[in-house]
Amino acid sequence: MSVRSEGDKDRSRFGRNFLHLALGTAFSRGIGFIRELGTAAWVGGGPAMDRFVVAFTIPALFRRVFGEEMVERALMPPVKRAYSTGEIRRSWSIAWQFGLVFLATLILIFAILWLNAGIFIRLIGPGILKRDGIESLIPLVRLLLPFMIIIGAAAFTGGIILYGESVRIYSLAPAGLSIGVIAVLLIKGAASDARTLSIGFLAGAAIHFFILVGVIISPSYRRKHRVSWNLRPGPTVAEARCTGAQSIWVFFQSLAQKSVEIVDRRLASTLATGSVSALWFAVRLVQLPEAIIGLAAGRAGLAAMAEKHAKGHEQELSRLVHDIVERTTLIVVPITVFCCIASRDITSVVYKRGAFGEEQVTVAAWAFLFYSLGLPGLAYTSVLSRFHAVCSRNGFSLLVTGIISIMNIILNYILVRTSLVHGGIALATSISFTVGAMALWWGFSRWVRHGDHVASIIRCFRIIITWTAIGAILIPLHRWTTRFRLPEISMLDLSSLVRLCFIAAIMVIIFRVLQRFSYGRW
């Protein structure tokens, strides 16, 4: 097969997987949006939500450390390599052995956290601890700790499904988490509090896990992927050592990333009441486009990248990464411009109802604006970190993460003391992720000599510059539309919704024109 036809096949494969992942993720995140709507309306952005966010930070920390990142970037690559080279039975035995070690580690961490919950609370939320007391937080933390084990098991199960390229169910399954939370909130209604949310997240994690387990044990999946339940022969000594080393790199990288979040929460807890909640709700807004584009792009290309690397096709791997990064740029940059222009309108349309009033909208929108600036960096990091993972270069990713984490923490302490206040915390995150993405690209271009890396960068920069100029033109137009106010409708800010639709329609038209006359030449 020619290089060109092979490249076309890879692009078609990536496009198909990306479409399925993006649509499935959009559905899951859409359900997640409904979850956040209920949370904002019934719990609000005040002290109760602040308590939940601080308590949830602890299991969420170890979910990140022992969740999707660990599974996708350390545990699953050797499984995929064995599967790609025809060692089907051994690939499954590797997966199950790694899974048992993974589960045992989660249980050990659970026990340590249960016994030392007070220490972690004092580290994460000193401001809230001073206001509400430790007695109100320790039971909440312990109630949430099983979430870490359940969602970790779901991450491992999902990783197996992802490497089998069953991307539809993988992207749809997280909706189960949100469905559990929504169900519990509906039962409690206006009486919902931090404990209600905690129970909802536990129920949702269980639903998520059982959806994924159902796929693996289904007869059709077992036949298609020749699932074997044997623990032998398992990984070779070299594979076990390599996976152990990569797991350590991913562990410390994820820990460094989450340490920044801990500093964020710690600083926000010392600001005005509701600052912790504002960052929580703003991050949820950013996570929707980041997941639909960045995570979907990284995961859609993951299996293909692992396969190219396993077979030693370096030139095809380089071409694939260039293609993924450029396609990601085409989508994520205009969405970033849209989020920055309409940050307040988006926040108002999504959250403004019930216990979430005008003041909470203002605080959350301010953080959302600065988080939005980091969307391209987040998307590129999602793609490039997976390239380094399949090439067993998680050590380099750890180095990059360590540097940008230190940068992020320093910027946090500097910017939070300016007039940006909690917006400074969001801006520090965006700057750090952008610098990190640049460093990961440098590592990619250094290790993969094939391909015209400069030409790819130039194509991406043309898109960025074009949309930055378009955004500068649309800002005064958006401000002009704020002069017009429509009658208030219960549970919906109609004026903000109309402005969003107006700006979105203009940007879609511009996108289509550029796609028709410019993108092809670039």
Residue 164 tokens, joined: 């089998």
pLDDT at 11: 63
- The pLDDT of residue 361: 93
Q: What percent of the chain has pLDDT over 70?
A: 92
Report, as an integer, the average pLDDT of 107-131: 86
Identify the pLDDT of residue 14.
67
pLDDT digits (tens, 9 = 90+) for 172-206: 888 999 999 999 999 998 888 889 999 999 999 99
Instruction: Give the residue, 408 or 54, on which the prediction is more confident.
Output: 408
The pLDDT score that the predictor gives to residue 164 is: 66
How many C-beta atoms surround the C-beta of residue 236 within 10 A?
A: 13
Please determine, for residue 462, whether its predicted confidence score (pLDDT) is greater than 90.
Answer: yes
pLDDT at 340: 96
Strands (E), 41-181: none
- When pLDDT is cut at 50, 70 and 90, the band that residue 380 belongs to is very high
pLDDT tens across 238-247, in order?
778 877 777 7
The Cα–Cα gap between 268 and 278 comes to: 9
The pLDDT assigned to 416 comes to 94
Enclosing domain of residue 162: 3-517
Within its chain, how far is the Cα of 7 from the centroid?
28
pLDDT for the residue 3: 47
- Between 204 and 259, the higher pLDDT residue: 204
The mean per-residue pLDDT over the stretch 159-173 comes to 75
| 522 is a domain residue | no
Helices 117-124, 88-115: inter-axial angle, 10-degree rounding:
80
Rounded to the nearest 10 degrees, how much is the dihedral formed by the CA atoms of 64, 65, 68, 70?
170
Q: Is residue 78 pLDDT above 50, yes or no? A: yes
Per-residue tokens: 429: 């995150």
pLDDT in tens, 285-306: 998 888 778 777 776 777 778 7
Q: Is the pLDDT of residue 488 over 60?
A: yes
pLDDT at 108: 92
Position 6 pLDDT exceeds 70: no
Flag whether pLDDT at 31 surpasses 50: yes
* 189 domain residue, yes or no: yes
**Residues shown for the chain:** 522
Q: Mean of the pLDDT values across residues 158-174?
A: 76
Residue 131 lies in a domain: yes
The region of weakest confidence among 40-54, 110-124, 162-176, 504-518 is: 162-176
Which pLDDT does position 490 carry in this prediction?
A: 67
pLDDT of residue 334: 96
Instruction: Tell whether the model's pLDDT for residue 336 goes beyond 70.
Output: yes
Answer whether residue 336 is part of any domain: yes
What's the average model confidence in pLDDT over 402-431? 94
- The most confident of 55-64, 217-226, 391-400, 433-442, by mean pLDDT: 433-442
Greater confidence, 81 or 322? Answer: 322
pLDDT at position 93: 86
Cβ pair 316, 450 in contact under 8 A = no
The least confident of 5-9, 82-86, 135-139, 209-213 is: 5-9
Give a yes or no: residue 61 inside a domain.
yes
- What is the average pLDDT value for the chain, to the nearest integer? 85
In the chain, % of residues over pLDDT 90:
36
Whether the pLDDT of residue 20 is over 60: the answer is yes
Q: How many domains does the chain have?
A: 1
- List Cβ neighbours of 102 (8 Å cut-off, separation of 6 or more): 66, 70, 71, 75, 152, 156
Residues 39-74: tens digit of each pLDDT = 988 888 888 888 898 889 888 877 767 666 677 667
d(CA 37, CA 259): 28
Does some domain include residue 194? Answer: yes
